[in-house]
Amino acid sequence: MKTLHQTRGGSGSPDFSLAQYVNDRPYAASSLLAVALAKVFSTARSGRGGSRQELADRPIPLEVTIPVLPCRGGPPIAHRLFEPLGWTVEALPIPLDEGFPEWGSSRYVRLRLTGEVRLAEMLNHLHVLLPVLDESKHYWQGPDEVDKLMRSGAGWLPNHPEKELIARRYLGRAGALKRVALARLAELGDDDVEMVDPVEDEEVRLPEQNRLPLNAQRYAAVIQVLIETGAHSVIDLGCGSGQFLDRLVKSGAFTRVAGSDVSARSLQYAAGRLRLEQMNERQADRIHLFHGALTYEDDRFAGFDAAVLMEVIEHVDPSRLEAVERVVWGAARPGLVVVTTPNSEYNVLYEGLVGMRHPDHRFEWTRSEFAEWSEHVATAYGYTVQRRGVGEVDQTLGAPTQMAVFTRQEGRDE
Would you mind telling me the total number of residues written for the chain in this entry?
414
The answer to whether 62 touches 122, Cβ cutoff 8 Å, is yes
Q: How do residues 277-294 score in pLDDT, each as one tens digit?
A: 888 887 788 899 998 889
The answer to whether 195 touches 186, Cβ cutoff 8 Å, is yes
- Cβ atoms within 10 Å of 30's Cβ, excluding its own: 22
Give yes or no for residue 211 having a pLDDT over 50. Answer: no
The answer to whether 167 touches 182, Cβ cutoff 8 Å, is yes
Mean pLDDT of 26-42: 77
**CA 40 – CA 18 distance, rounded (Å):** 29
Helix, coil or strand: residue 185: helix
pLDDT band at 389 (very low <50, low <70, confident <90, very high): very high
pLDDT band at 144 (very low <50, low <70, confident <90, very high): low
The pLDDT, as a whole number, for residue 203 is: 39
The pLDDT, as a whole number, for residue 385 is: 97
The pLDDT, as a whole number, for residue 4 is: 31
Phi/psi at 108 (5° precision): -105, 150
Render 347-358 in DSSP notation, one character per residue: GGGSTT--SSSS
**CA 122 – CA 113 distance, rounded (Å):** 10
Mean pLDDT of 324-336: 97
Of 67-76, 244-253, 264-273, 351-360, the least confident: 351-360
The answer to whether 135 touches 72, Cβ cutoff 8 Å, is yes
| 161 φψ region: left (φ > 0), alpha (ψ -120 to 50), beta (else) | alpha
Q: Average per-residue pLDDT in the chain?
A: 81
Query: Of 402, 245, 212, which is closest to residue 314 (Cα–Cα)?
Result: 402
Strand order of the β-sheet with 60-70 is 60-70, 105-117, 88-95
CA gyration radius for the chain? 24
Highest mean pLDDT among 47-56, 59-68, 93-102, 103-112: 59-68
Mean pLDDT of 80-106: 88
The pLDDT, as a whole number, for residue 174 is: 55
Phi/psi at 73 (5° precision): 105, -5
Query: Of 239, 225, 340, which is closest to residue 287 (Cα–Cα)?
Result: 239
The pLDDT, as a whole number, for residue 188 is: 57
Q: Which helix (H) or strand (E) holds 403?
A: strand 401-408
**CA 7 – CA 231 distance, rounded (Å):** 70
**CA 148 – CA 244 distance, rounded (Å):** 26
**CA 408 – CA 376 distance, rounded (Å):** 14
Determine if the pTM surpasses 0.75: no
Q: Is pLDDT larger for residue 200 or for residue 383?
A: 383
Half-sphere exposure of 213 (CA within 13 A, CB side): 20
The pLDDT, as a whole number, for residue 357 is: 83
Q: How do residues 106-116 score in pLDDT, each as one tens digit?
A: 888 999 999 99
